Amino acid sequence: MTRVLAALRSWTTSVPLAAAVLLAAVWGRHPGVFLAVVIAIALAGAVLAAVHHAEVVAHRVGEPFGSLVLAVAVTVIEVGLIVTLMVSGGPETASLARDTVFAAAMITMNGILGLCLFVGAVRTGLAVFNAEGTGAALATVATLATMCLVLPTFTTSKPGPEFSSAQLTFAAVVSLLLYGLFVVTQTVRHRDFFLPVETDEPRPDAHAAPPSTRKAGASLALLLVALVGVVGLAKVESKSIEDGLAAIGLPHAFVGVVIALLVLLPETIAAVRAALRNQVQISINLALGSAMASIGLTIPTIAVASIWLDGPLLLGLGPTQMVLLALTVVVGVLTVVPGRATRLQGGVHLVLLAAFIFLAINP
């Protein structure tokens, strides 16, 4: 057993480093078939390693800090990727921020949330969570999404689904303030609203000793390396994905959905594993926290980057997307209010994700 654990620790250390080295070697290249397969394998390994190190850090710092670390880390790297692509991509990336943020919001609010509620309900009969904290998180996500992704479609200062400079500045400042207020509420003022609900079901790690500060620090560093590898290799692999999707007749815009799915894999796996341990609240913290961070950190960063970006910055959603967002919020409210959910609620959210993906394929 000792040898197995040592091998596992060695694997979770070497894979993120190998992914980072591979990323440096292939960045800016269009990989062939063999190299694309190698990158895919390294990407999968980096995802699994990121989940492991995120759970080590979460166990050390406790909740809700643990889920906050993973959500913010993934989002910061994702934001950096978006800005890099927009700076180098030219006018065709005008809607990249909107498409990426909306895809991330739909995947987290419906995919991760629905899957974890379904898994939690299958395991214990009912997925139980704190309605106060979950409701506050959902309200924050809905407000951020409406201000940053819906209002640009209806403002009249500039033509098209676009904010004026003053409007973009206002949205960026409000997004940062609202996200900061939520983080303070989650981690300081009302931390108990975001902790797992105590039930009669035993939790496998309830009495496990937390890792040492040194081990947690090393895991935090390796988590960041692994996430850089995940996002960077997903970017390198995007050309191969784009070619593959084009070969089977899928629209170019669907590439953004695939990349978002890859980038959010670490959070998805971590959230499902938490649900399997009867910690549905941690799963919800990850899902809604990721959606909130994706909007609340991306829009302010893009607002600053727009100073030197050429061309328009299209943020407003189309009619179909707004309908899906509105339905997601309504269903989310009905899911959150009771503080517990059955398989049905999880299934409804998963159907909404399926509708989003289907309409992205066949708009």
Q: pLDDT of 96-106, one tens digit each?
A: 778 888 988 99
Distance between CA atoms of residues 294 and 145, nearest Å: 10
- In one-letter notation, the amino acid at residue 249 is G
Which pLDDT value is given to residue 1?
A: 46
Whether residue 270 has pLDDT greater than 70? yes
Q: For residue 259, how many other CB atoms are within 10 A of its CB?
A: 24
pLDDT by residue (tens digit) across 108-143?
999 999 999 999 999 888 899 999 989 999 999 999
pLDDT by residue (tens digit) across 296-328?
888 888 888 777 777 777 888 999 999 999 999
Whether residue 5 has pLDDT greater than 60? no
Distance between CA atoms of residues 158 and 330, nearest Å: 30
Mean pLDDT taken over the chain: 82
Q: Are 241 and 228 in contact (CB under 8 A)?
A: no
- In one-letter notation, the amino acid at residue 3 is R
- The alpha carbon torsion through 275, 360, 50, 21 (nearest 10 deg) reads 170
Query: Model-level pTM?
Result: 0.80
Which pLDDT value is given to residue 335?
A: 93
Beta strand spans in 259-345 (E): 340-341
